[in-house]
Amino acid sequence: MRFRIIVSRMEVTTLSDLEVRMSSSIANGAAAPRERPVQVPDFLAARKRGHRLTVLTAYDYTFAKLLDEAGVDGILVGDSLGMVFQGRDNSLAVTLDEMIYHTKAVVRGVRRSLVIADMPFMTYQLHPQQALENAGRLVKEGGAQAVKLEGGRRTAAAIAAITQADIPVMAHVGMTPQSIHRFGGFRVQRDAEKILEDAVAVEQAGAFAVVVECVPSELAAKITETLSIPTIGIGAGSQCDGQILVTPDMIGLYGDFRPKFVKLFASLGDQIRAAVQEYTREVRSGSFPGTEHEYR
Ligand code: KIV
């Protein structure tokens, strides 16, 4: 009985239906209705129906709430926080406890999107048991619904161990940022045969989706055609089943490094600087606070 209800709900509500209803309610200024949360099977259903998936990163409650209200399908608590939140040169120093802390904050802001938490460097490479224990912490303590880890064939055993415990795994192939020292920087990856083999290996190991980062578009299209799980592209062209970007990159908040594949959808960094300059001017001139901001 319970199973039948879930199935019938899935049939009547597609991801794009949810997006349309969500964005129109926000456009009308109405409070967003409580929508059915996006779940892992919805990602697979979206791929079957040809609905493109949207995923963005968030690291805190406020941004997670904004992304969720705007109707994004998935929110990744990415270890990119090492760069855009902590100001490091790469993500390698991020710890599992930090990821749990940020995941908890993100989950509090989300009502609808699927929350996926990144597994940081050296929290899944030692052996499958280590990977399973740490994935379990991201779900139990952080509240994530799925985890993401980098690598293809070499992480297949970890993916298998995690998925066998019913924790959904999003894989990540191509330019995997935790391999930055081996790659010699954030470089486009062009070894088509190896990357395709990696993608096939993570699907066979049980991943429900795979991020394909910074590879030629033709290769991403070939991976998408070969796999039956959704491909989520970043710097991988338009033929993937969905797209992901690092949010501070695409809204112009993080300017230290901007790869070619990032489109600026807003320039919030400029707006914030202008707002802070105006605040500073008004405080110094005595025009803020005005009488309307005072308690009598
Ligand atoms: O950490 C992250 O934000 C990521 C995305 C770039 C896919 O892995």
Domain residue limits, the chain: 33-285
Length of the chain: 296
Per the structure block, which two tokens stand in for 1? 């009985």
pTM (predicted TM-score): 0.90
How far, in Å, from the CA of 211 to the mean position of ligand 1?
9
How far, in Å, from the CA of 40 to the mean position of ligand 1?
18
Q: Is pLDDT above 80 for 287?
A: yes
Q: Provide mean pLDDT across the span 102-106.
A: 99
How far, in Å, from the CA of 88 to the mean position of ligand 1?
15
Q: Where in the sequence numbering do the catalytic residues fall?
A: 213
Contacts of residue 27, defined as CB under 8 A and 6 or more positions apart, other chains included, come to none
Please check whether residue 212 is in contact with residue 234, taking contact to mean a CB–CB distance below 8 angstroms.
yes
Q: Residue with the nearest Cα to atom 6 of ligand 1? A: 246
- The model's pLDDT over 1-15, given as tens digits with 9 standing for 90+, comes to 333 333 333 333 445
Please check whether residue 152 is in contact with residue 197, taking contact to mean a CB–CB distance below 8 angstroms.
yes
Ligand 1 atom at shortest distance from the alpha carbon of 148 = 8
At residue 15, the pLDDT reads 53
Q: Residue with the nearest Cα to atom 8 of ligand 1? A: 78
The candidate with the shortest Cα–Cα distance to 52, out of 245, 248, 238, 264, is 238
Ligand 1 atom at shortest distance from the alpha carbon of 79 = 1
CA separation for the pair 101, 279 (Å, rounded): 32
CA separation for the pair 284, 277 (Å, rounded): 11
Q: Provide mean pLDDT across the span 13-42.
A: 56
Contacts of residue 181, defined as CB under 8 A and 6 or more positions apart, other chains included, come to none
- The model's pLDDT over 221-249, given as tens digits with 9 standing for 90+, comes to 999 999 999 999 999 999 999 999 999 99
Superfamily of domain 33-285, CATH level 4: Phosphoenolpyruvate-binding domains (3.20.20.60)
Q: Is pLDDT above 50 for 97?
A: yes
Sign (positive or negative) of CA dihedral 15, 19, 25, 29: positive
Q: Residue with the nearest Cα to atom 3 of ligand 1? A: 78
By most ligand atoms within 8 Å of CB, the mutation choice from 86, 99, 176, 211 for ligand 1 is: 211
Ligand 1 atom at shortest distance from the alpha carbon of 80 = 1
- The model's pLDDT over 188-230, given as tens digits with 9 standing for 90+, comes to 999 999 999 999 999 999 999 999 999 999 999 999 999 999 9
Least confident piece of the model among 12-21, 170-179, 217-226, 250-259: 12-21
- The model's pLDDT over 260-281, given as tens digits with 9 standing for 90+, comes to 999 999 999 999 999 999 999 9
Specify the higher pLDDT residue, 28 or 246: 246
The set of protein residues with a Cβ atom below 6 angstroms from ligand 1 is: 57, 76, 78-80, 118, 172, 211, 234, 244, 246
Q: Is pLDDT above 90 for 16?
A: no
DSSP assignment of 74-95, as one string?
EEEE-TTHHHHTT--SSSTT--
Ligand 1 atom at shortest distance from the alpha carbon of 91 = 1
Contacts of residue 55, defined as CB under 8 A and 6 or more positions apart, other chains included, come to 72, 73, 74, 75, 76, 116, 232, 242, 243, 244
